Structure 1
Amino acid sequence: MGRSHLAVRMRMRRHKVFLLCVLGICVVSFLHYYKALHSIPLLQELSSPSNLKTLKMFSDIFWNGPAADSHSQQDFHRHSRLKGNVDSNVILPGPPDRKLHERTFILHDDHTPLFIHTESGAVCFKEGTDLTASASQRRLLHKEINPEDEEVNADKKVVRCPCRQGWHGPHCGIPTIVYHSNLPSKSKVTPRKVPRRVINAININHEFDLLHARFHELADAVDVFLICESNFTAYGDSRPLLFRQMILNGTFNYIQHKILYIFLDHFPNGGRMDGWIADDYLRTYLTKNGMSRLKGLKADDVFVINDADEIPARDGILFLKLFDGWTEPVGIHMRKSLYGFYWRQFGTLNVLSACTAAMLFKVYKGDGIFLRRRTYYSMSGFREYENSTGRILIPWAIGSPVHYGGWHCSWCFKPEGIHYKLISAQNGDFPRWGDYNEKRKISYIKDLIRTGGWFDGSIPEYPPTDPKEHMYAPKYFMDNYKKYHYLLENPYAREKPVSNEQLKNFK
């Protein structure tokens, strides 16, 4: 009896040792593959704090049985109910704890068929192609290839697509604002099989009407909008998180699945004394925080950074998304306006605004403020990065002084909004007009809007404008003319000017 009992105990011990060995092998294998596959979105999702907590709940239940911690089971069931109503393709504005600024965003490839293959062998961008062109017109577009061209058979032909007005190139995918740009390689660009993902980064204060226009203009070209809001103004005063409130109350429901909210909860040291420190830091924090929360980023994805009053035209950004062969960094020629689109200024504002993710990190050190500057060629990583691409990197700009690649609408608010911008402005761009009581008077601001004058008393000359002119304003504003009338027509054009006596009263 004793020997039998001893044999049973030894067999149980051997089974336990065997099970422990198997478990150890499983753990070691899991850790090995976890490290190798850490970049896979599913594994990253599993490794998030919330899911690790859920896995711990499962573990507790498995090892401790029905007597496991009741609070853990309740939390798990509550979490399951919440997850049950979530579309996995949509990034909601925030989890139950309302921490929008801690969410991550997973970038996905877009496989929507934007190009068509014709019977004659052409690859045509659907939007830019005239699908009603007759067979005779299409035959005229066949072009014989020069036999001396490299890697081309002598009997091969290039079939050009029949383009709609405003679109150019053999694939009808080059918009006018790129066709008339200074891009040196525009004749050599080719369609991508899978579009790039586009990241658009913006700091926001109270430019909410312009933000609506941006979202509607770029909705199908941009994959994620990185929007940074702070509880401090650029001057260092506290401010409410208005944009966050608007996300939560549903104002941006139509685009919230593409918004990654970034919260800057501190003001940089020295920013109150030197406003340029604060101005630069806003873009630095926006880029570093936002890009660190993107999952699945690829080296050739496009990063675009703008001020809130700079709105790129959709066609130019779509071109960067759909085609290979363009160089970097990329600027944008923007139509310049003051107070509203009716006061158009001469020339364009050309700001370096875009580059690939690879250039952002290898040359600009992951900091968007360096992209905005024009000293990329002197940065330590530029030559190494240029050599790695196998081509000469030549900056170019979407658009031209004649063909606008976007809109820059400076101080484009109602009078109350201009007043708020005056007192929020950073302490460095002198003269800081918000420091002058008379400049903050609403009646004075209305007269500036009426005349197109500036705070220094000057009244520049403006070229004539007409709301019917091409690229007058973003399409969203034009489609909602009545609602945004204050930006499209001078609301004070018929009012009497402020008299000299009234100006004295301001002082």
Structure 2
Amino acid sequence: MGRSHLSVRIRIRRHKVFLLCLLGIFVISFLHYYKALHNISLLQELSSPSTHLKTLKLFSGIFWSFPATDFNSQNDIYKHSHLKAKLDSNVILTDPPDGTLHKHPFVLHDDSTPFFIQTKSGAVCYREGTDMDNSASHRRLLQHNNKKNTSKDNIINAGKKVVRCPCQQGWHGPHCGIPTIVYHSNLPSKSKVTPRKVPRRVINAININHEFDLLHARFHELADVVDVFLVCESNFTAYGETRPLYFLQMILNGTFDYIKHKILYIFLDHFPDGGRADGWIMDDYLRTYLTKNGMSRIQGLKLDDVFLINDADEIPVRDGILFLKLYDGWTEPVGIHMRKSLYGFYWKQFGTLNILSACTAAMLFKVYKNDGILLRRRSYYSMSGFREYENSTGRILLPWAIGSPVHYAGWHCSWCFKPEGIYYKLISAQNGDFPRWGDYGEKKNLNYIKELVRTGGWFDGSVPNYPPTDTEEHMYAPKYLLDNYNKYSYLLENPYAKEKHTKLT
């Protein structure tokens, strides 16, 4: 009898050990799977003192985070994702004590932001472009089964049954993810684009001299879209004179702490041969060095990631770049139609500035040879690798531009500084864009510069007849500047318009 009880106890112990082993394997496997999705090492996770707490939180969230939800239950997730973005933006990188900030790599991770939601009715909707409160309207739309809305501009995946979402004003397509500036663009494949399961990463490359207010506007406009900003600064002006590293100082003193975790600092410590005699050599070299140095320091790059290069005074609007991040099916290279202005957003110039600004990393490497200046030119079709790259994609590559001449997709604010900043740009300008007004003493007089700002005139003596503008008009200026009107008023309203004209001496 005793032996029978002992045998039973042994079997029970064995079952317990077996069950504990299974549970342990399950937990470790699940942790490995979950952390792999978030690019976190399993060993790193297991060695963390808060592992057990994280595991409890993880299991508590499994049962509500994965199933499809209806519009009414999305508010909590929406708030949670914004809280996460806010916490992420507070990450501050430590400054290297050895002065090697310009040598550090940048590791790209997948963007886990839930840009799209799936409803119980089966619709996949872009959260920001969808009318979340219009559930009744959504049900009515579903009943139509796409019978009345079959135009090629609105239907994605032609021939397939698509469950449509109720779009907010300014958003289009069955998923409500196509912004107006793409909907009214010349993109030939706009009716065939499809949402991605995993967003692309966006790399924005910029050279900086002293355009710091516009840089703040760019960072705030694109903070949740761009994954890394490649910002290049030199200790030489484009003319070849030495200059302090103002941007580096601002990084170190905390000015850009809100975006510092997304900045890859690039330091150009030399001036190219021949750049003083021919300023275009320096102008090209700035973008070449920016691209080659910056892209070589990025880890985790994927060939379909987006490379975007701008001058510091060219600020793309968020929604257009987000479209490139979230959708498949657009062609390349990509231009951007930008609203043009001079001295400030109050002197609006006619037409738009349309510059080729974006492509995939694959096209950057295979066609443009990892040189950003070549992207901005329009001779890509004659480059040695173009046909081979086009054949590898299986589609005809056609350039297109986000926006149109009447639908601005960004802002180009030329010479947009206070008079002292305009003076600094005059003396810093490269020796190639003739006439080089910084070579004329009278053009550098601050009173003369103030008069140019007051009238909207140019250094050659001309005074164009600019159309009237209003700060309330759509796309007048980047939202960050308008939200901080008093601080940036010199860019938003003519600071000398109400002053009496005095003869310059």
TM-score clears 0.5: yes
- Is residue 2:175 matched to residue 1:174? no
Separation in 2 of the partners of 1:321 and 1:367? 21
- More deviation, 118-127/364-373: 118-127
Tell me the CA shift for residue 98 of structure 1: 2.4
Among candidates 379, 388, 393, match of residue 397 of structure 2? 393
Q: What pairs up with 1:329-340 in 2 under 5 angstroms? A: 329-340=333-344
Q: What pairs up with 1:80-119 in 2 under 5 angstroms? A: 92=93, 94-119=95-120
- Is residue 2:199 matched to residue 1:191? no
TM-score with structure 2 setting the length: 0.79
Secondary structure of the residue aligned to 1:200 is: strand
Contact 1:305 1:368 in 2 (8 A): yes
- More deviation, 469-478/119-128: 119-128
> Alpha-carbon deviations, 1:172-231, whole Å to 9, x = none?
000111111101111111110000000000000000000000000000000000000000
Separation in 1 of the partners of 2:132 and 2:352? 35
Residues 224 and 434 from structure 1, CA distance in 2 versus in 1: closer, same or farther, beyond 3 angstroms? same
> Alpha-carbon deviations, 1:300-338, whole Å to 9, x = none?
000000000000000000000001000000000000000
- More deviation, 128-137/241-250: 128-137
Partner of 1:123: 124
Tell me the CA shift for residue 144 of structure 1: 4.1
Partner of 2:12: none
Partner of 1:238: 242
Separation in 1 of the partners of 2:266 and 2:158? 54
Partner of 2:451: 447
Contact 2:203 2:230 in 1 (8 A): yes
Q: What pairs up with 1:417-428 in 2 under 5 angstroms? A: 417-428=421-432
Contact 1:200 1:225 in 2 (8 A): yes
> Alpha-carbon deviations, 1:1-23, whole Å to 9, x = none?
xxxxxxxxxxxxxxxxxxxxxxx
Q: What pairs up with 1:21-60 in 2 under 5 angstroms? A: none
Secondary structure of the residue aligned to 1:159 is: coil
**Aligned residue type for 1:101:** H
TM-score with structure 1 setting the length: 0.79
Separation in 2 of the partners of 1:303 and 1:340? 28
Secondary structure of the residue aligned to 2:463 is: coil
Residues 93 and 228 from structure 1, CA distance in 2 versus in 1: closer, same or farther, beyond 3 angstroms? farther
Contact 1:128 1:173 in 2 (8 A): yes
Contact 1:226 1:286 in 2 (8 A): yes
Separation in 2 of the partners of 1:99 and 1:118? 48
Separation in 2 of the partners of 1:241 and 1:305? 21
Separation in 2 of the partners of 1:281 and 1:145? 55
Contact 2:137 2:166 in 1 (8 A): no
Contact 1:91 1:105 in 2 (8 A): no
Partner of 2:133: 132
Partner of 1:59: none
- Is residue 2:317 matched to residue 1:313? yes
Residues 476 and 153 from structure 1, CA distance in 2 versus in 1: closer, same or farther, beyond 3 angstroms? closer
Unaligned runs of 5+ in 1: 1-39, 43-86
Secondary structure of the residue aligned to 1:157 is: coil
Partner of 2:418: 414
Tell me the CA shift for residue 139 of structure 1: 2.1
Contact 1:93 1:247 in 2 (8 A): no
Contact 1:221 1:317 in 2 (8 A): yes
Contact 2:124 2:165 in 1 (8 A): yes
Separation in 2 of the partners of 1:240 and 1:153? 57
Secondary structure of the residue aligned to 1:438 is: helix
Partner of 1:279: 283
Among candidates 293, 299, 303, match of residue 295 of structure 1? 299
Residues 128 and 153 from structure 1, CA distance in 2 versus in 1: closer, same or farther, beyond 3 angstroms? closer
> Alpha-carbon deviations, 1:134-174, whole Å to 9, x = none?
42443235434799x9xx999x7321100011111110000
Residues 136 and 291 from structure 1, CA distance in 2 versus in 1: closer, same or farther, beyond 3 angstroms? closer
Residues 310 and 153 from structure 1, CA distance in 2 versus in 1: closer, same or farther, beyond 3 angstroms? closer
Contact 2:146 2:164 in 1 (8 A): no
Among candidates 199, 212, 216, match of residue 216 of structure 2? 212
**Aligned residue type for 2:197:** K
Partner of 1:143: 145
Q: How many residues align?
A: 415
Residues 391 and 159 from structure 1, CA distance in 2 versus in 1: closer, same or farther, beyond 3 angstroms? same
Contact 2:138 2:165 in 1 (8 A): no
Residues 251 and 291 from structure 1, CA distance in 2 versus in 1: closer, same or farther, beyond 3 angstroms? same
Partner of 2:260: 256
Tell me the CA shift for residue 94 of structure 1: 3.0
Secondary structure of the residue aligned to 2:364 is: helix
**Aligned residue type for 1:98:** G
Residues 255 and 476 from structure 1, CA distance in 2 versus in 1: closer, same or farther, beyond 3 angstroms? same
Partner of 2:229: 225
Residues 189 and 288 from structure 1, CA distance in 2 versus in 1: closer, same or farther, beyond 3 angstroms? same
**Aligned residue type for 1:333:** H
Secondary structure of the residue aligned to 1:455 is: coil
> Alpha-carbon deviations, 1:236-283, whole Å to 9, x = none?
000000000000000000000000000000000000000000000000
Partner of 2:370: 366
Separation in 2 of the partners of 1:302 and 1:100? 24
Separation in 2 of the partners of 1:316 and 1:347? 19
Residues 93 and 450 from structure 1, CA distance in 2 versus in 1: closer, same or farther, beyond 3 angstroms? farther
- Is residue 2:360 matched to residue 1:356? yes
- Is residue 2:376 matched to residue 1:376? no
**Aligned residue type for 2:347:** W
RMSD: 2.2
Contact 1:93 1:100 in 2 (8 A): no
Please identify the structure whose Cα radius of gyration is greater.
Answer: 1
Separation in 1 of the partners of 2:392 and 2:472? 47
